[in-house]
Chains A and B, each alone.
Chain A
Amino acid sequence: MKKQLSKAHEKYLKRLKKDKIIVIFWQIALFVCFLGIWQLLADTGVIDPFFFSSPSRIAVTIVDLFANGNLLLHIWTSLYETILGFIIAVLLGLIIAVMLWWSEKLRKILEPYLIILNSLPKIALGPMIIFWVGSGTSATVVMSVLICIVITIISMLNAFISCDKDKILLMKSMRANKFQILFKLVLPNALPEFVSVLKINVGMAWVGTVMGEYLSSKAGLGYLINYGSQMLKLDIVMTSITLLCVLAGGMYGLVSLLEKRQQK
């Protein structure tokens, strides 16, 4: 009986594995097909490679930009700005959310401002940011922070507030003080929400970086896109977009890894 069960289980595991392989196969196949068709259409002149670029032209552009010595600088600049904006927004947002959780009065006072800030398109502040903090990296980081922080505050605050009231009473009945309730209950309880905020913020931070670099910068992938489009070097634009895909995907992957570790 037991042997049969394990056999069935083995079969089930095999099927799972097989399904996974099929999924990965199609993911790769789709990617290769996409590149192949793109290349084919460009080579046969169905689409104008000047406007649509092509995989081979992107490859050449990457090598070219790399050889000129500034591609790594652009990548590094954008990556640095994004990660810095991401970290500042998450930490600051978390601290503010904790403060708002702590004081219900403060929360009520600031509620309308949070709502306005949340619905305001942050790009509108762009020109002002440049006046306030100057152009370049600092403006870009501020833009990233602005875009990420409001959603961080709102999501985390909601997670804190929705902590089970009875669990808080339980803590109180065991004579916990407010610090202990925060650190031993409310914060760990909000960990899943925190991970999903991180995931959202990866995307948001990149939006902020590219916007900031459009507005004013001397380096970065957003700068390259801007430069490429103005010089009508659309290969450079497409190359930058491709690199953005890879970087943002990579960052998202790192956060997912964190999530998997947390679930263990």
Chain B
Amino acid sequence: MDKFLEFKNVTYFYQTKTSEIHALDKLTFAVDEFQFASLVGPSGCGKTTVLSLTAGLLEASEGEILLDQKPITKNDPRIGYMFQRDHLFEWRSIWQNITLGLELQHKNKDQQKLSLAENLLKKYDLYGFKNKKPHELSGGMRQRVALIRTLVLEPALLLLDEPFSALDFQTRLKVCDDVYDIIKSEKKTALLVTHDISEAISMSDRIIILTKRPAHTRTIIDLNLEGNTPLEKREANDFGKHFEMIWRNLSSEETIIKSP
């Protein structure tokens, strides 16, 4: 399969008044097309920085970031970004929230895009809430609305920054399943940041483990667990084995374990 997103020796420094923060150090990894990949690593190691760089919100200090073999540009329409919190605008209805991106890009008269928005709402059981305000929805529903808001712009690559961490455990399992289903059935490539190892294993085709800051790639693991949904994959035979290995990778800073 083709490499869709590729980081090649990417280094990034944050500049602050008091110091220069070395966030990424020659980071190299790739995500194939239609792959669901996860980034895991110690908190503060630079995971969000990776996503910001990919989305063009920051510019790499050194190295190359390729999207579909070409250097990324600022504001590439092929990239959709989903944040940790849903960031729905409370003063807008659900419909106005999911069409926000279309409005910003002056595509809110485009019938094809509007019917896509409508279909996504229908497909994911939110059509009845079209005219409601965000505060009338549960946390899981809000997160689905946030995902649809991103999908309406038809990105090929979705960046997800710990999108489930604000949800309680039960809801999280359900929303993981929903989001996984949406992303797979809409044929997207995804890069998920998470600090939850089980979540990473249950959703991913590939897991990229980062070192502590300045982050570089510690290990890349390709997975192929049995099961069609994250919930089913949690029951897979190899789940425990992978969990163990990633856990050891994250907790030890010295030993590097080769991917199987």
| Beta-carbon nearest neighbor of A191 in chain B | B91
User: Does B83 contact A169, Cβ atoms closer than 8 Å?
Assistant: yes
Q: Is A119 an interface residue (CB 8 A)?
A: no
Distance, CA A171 to CA B85, complexed state (A): 14
Within 8 A of B (CB), among A168-190: 169-176, 180, 184-185, 188-189
User: Does A188 contact B91, Cβ atoms closer than 8 Å?
Assistant: yes
Q: Is A166 an interface residue (CB 8 A)?
A: yes
Within 8 A of B (CB), among A12-53: none
Question: For A185, what are the chain B residues with a Cβ–Cβ distance below 8 Å?
Answer: 89
Q: Chain A's nearest CB lies how many Å from the CB of B49?
A: 13
Q: Is A64 an interface residue (CB 8 A)?
A: no
Distance, CA A174 to CA B152, complexed state (A): 11
Q: Chain B's nearest CB lies how many Å from the CB of A6?
A: 21
Q: Which of A170, A172, A175, A176 contacts B87 (CB 8 A)?
A: A170
Q: Chain B's nearest CB lies how many Å from the CB of A223?
A: 43
A164 touching B87 in the complex, CB below 8 Å, given contacts A173-B55, A173-B81, A174-B153: yes
| Beta-carbon nearest neighbor of B159 in chain A | A173
Within 8 A of B (CB), among A150-173: 164, 166-167, 169-173
Within 8 A of B (CB), among A57-87: none
Q: Chain A's nearest CB lies how many Å from the CB of B93?
A: 13
Q: Which of A166, A169, A172, A174 contacts B105 (CB 8 A)?
A: A174
Question: For B89, what are the chain A residues with a Cβ–Cβ distance below 8 Å?
Answer: 167, 185, 188-189
Q: Chain A's nearest CB lies how many Å from the CB of B117?
A: 14
How many residues of chain A get a CB closer than 8 Å to chain B's CBs? Answer: 17
User: Does A184 contact B75, Cβ atoms closer than 8 Å?
Assistant: no
Distance, CA A189 to CA B55, complexed state (A): 25
Q: Is B148 an interface residue (CB 8 A)?
A: no
Q: Is B176 an interface residue (CB 8 A)?
A: no
User: Does A167 contact B87, Cβ atoms closer than 8 Å?
Assistant: yes
Within 8 A of A (CB), among B70-92: 75, 77, 79-81, 83-85, 87, 89, 91
Question: For A174, what are the chain B residues with a Cβ–Cβ distance below 8 Å?
Answer: 100-101, 104-105, 153
Q: Which of B79, B83, B101, B153 contacts A166 (CB 8 A)?
A: B83
Q: Which of A164, A184, A189, A191 contacts B100 (CB 8 A)?
A: A184
User: Does B104 contact A170, Cβ atoms closer than 8 Å?
Assistant: no
Q: Chain B's nearest CB lies how many Å from the CB of A63?
A: 49
| Beta-carbon nearest neighbor of B104 in chain A | A176
Q: Is B256 an interface residue (CB 8 A)?
A: no
User: Does B87 contact A184, Cβ atoms closer than 8 Å?
Assistant: no
Q: Mark B88-131, 1 if CB is under 8 A from A, else 0.
A: 01010000000011011100000000000000000000000000
| Beta-carbon nearest neighbor of A176 in chain B | B104
| Beta-carbon nearest neighbor of A181 in chain B | B104
| Beta-carbon nearest neighbor of A166 in chain B | B83
User: Does B57 contact A172, Cβ atoms closer than 8 Å?
Assistant: yes
Distance, CA A173 to CA B244, complexed state (A): 36
Distance, CA A185 to CA B101, complexed state (A): 12
Question: For A167, what are the chain B residues with a Cβ–Cβ distance below 8 Å?
Answer: 87, 89
Q: Mark A183-211, 1 if CB is under 8 A from B, else 0.
A: 01100110100000000000000000000
Distance, CA A85 to CA B100, complexed state (A): 37
A170 touching B105 in the complex, CB below 8 Å, given contacts A188-B89, A188-B91: no
Q: Chain A's nearest CB lies how many Å from the CB of B9?
A: 25
Distance, CA A180 to CA B89, complexed state (A): 14
Distance, CA A188 to CA B91, complexed state (A): 7
Question: For A191, what are the chain B residues with a Cβ–Cβ distance below 8 Å?
Answer: 91
Q: Chain A's nearest CB lies how many Å from the CB of B147?
A: 13
Question: For A164, what are the chain B residues with a Cβ–Cβ distance below 8 Å?
Answer: 87
User: Does A166 contact B85, Cβ atoms closer than 8 Å?
Assistant: yes
Distance, CA A176 to CA B91, complexed state (A): 18
Distance, CA A172 to CA B101, complexed state (A): 10
Within 8 A of A (CB), among B144-179: 153
User: Does A180 contact B57, Cβ atoms closer than 8 Å?
Assistant: no
Distance, CA A228 to CA B6, complexed state (A): 82
Distance, CA A172 to CA B81, complexed state (A): 10
Distance, CA A174 to CA B83, complexed state (A): 12
Q: Chain B's nearest CB lies how many Å from the CB of A183?
A: 11
A170 touching B57 in the complex, CB below 8 Å, given contacts A180-B104, A184-B104, A185-B89: no
Q: Mark B35-51, 1 if CB is under 8 A from A, else 0.
A: 00000000000000000
Distance, CA A164 to CA B77, complexed state (A): 23
Question: For A172, what are the chain B residues with a Cβ–Cβ distance below 8 Å?
Answer: 57, 75
6 A-B contacts (beta carbon < 8 Å): A170-B81, A171-B104, A173-B55, A174-B100, A174-B104, A175-B101
Excluding A170-B83, A173-B55, A175-B105, 16 further A-B contacts by CB distance (< 8 Å) are A164-B87, A166-B83, A166-B87, A169-B52, A169-B57, A172-B75, A173-B57, A173-B80, A174-B100, A174-B101, A175-B75, A175-B104, A184-B103, A185-B89, A188-B89, A189-B89
